[in-house]
Amino acid sequence: MLNTIVLIRTDSFDKALVALADLIRYGGMEIRGKPRIIPPALSDWAFEKIVGEKPKKKYRAHVVAQIDLPPAKAIGRLREIHPPAHIVVIPPGSNVHRELLRMWGTFEVLKGFHRPRKSVKGVENEE
């Protein structure tokens, strides 16, 4: 099964990191792999294809991450948690999803992202 992709558009990479942590902590989502930074033009293209209109606001930080939930469930949880970023859910099977996966290996890994540990307290897992 393909993972749903979330596109995070915000003013700084710090806010993107907070939004990712919120998806895990409050949205109950699991981030698969490492979130990646994408070019603003690609982010705008993906936004337009999924939302159906041109972005009204320009953002400086554009991040994609793969999550473990189906699109409808992810959208429902996003409505409940209000992360500090604009987040677009990109469903598997869409042209945007296929294009992002095709280019995934070329995107820079977002530095500073650490998923909450599910291990013994005081013992950190090495990645």
CA-wise closest residue to 45 among 123, 119, 81, 97:
97
Residue 117 lies in a domain: no
Q: Is 99 helix (H, G, I), strand (E, B) or coil?
A: helix
Query: Residue 81 sits in a domain of what CATH number?
Result: 3.30.70
Q: Which domain holds residue 77?
A: 4-109
CA-wise closest residue to 103 among 3, 36, 51:
36
| Residue range 97-125, pLDDT digits in tens | 999 999 999 999 999 998 765 433 333 33
- 61-67 β-sheet, strand order: 86-90, 4-10, 61-67, 31-37, 108-109
How is residue 48 written in tokens? 């337009």
Write down the pLDDT at residue 41: 97
- Count the domains in the chain: 1
Contact predicate 89/49, CB 8 Å: no
Write down the pLDDT at residue 21: 93
Q: Residue 50 above 90 pLDDT?
A: yes
- Determine the Cα–Cα distance for residues 78 and 98; give it in Å rounded to an integer: 23
Residue 88 lies in a domain: yes
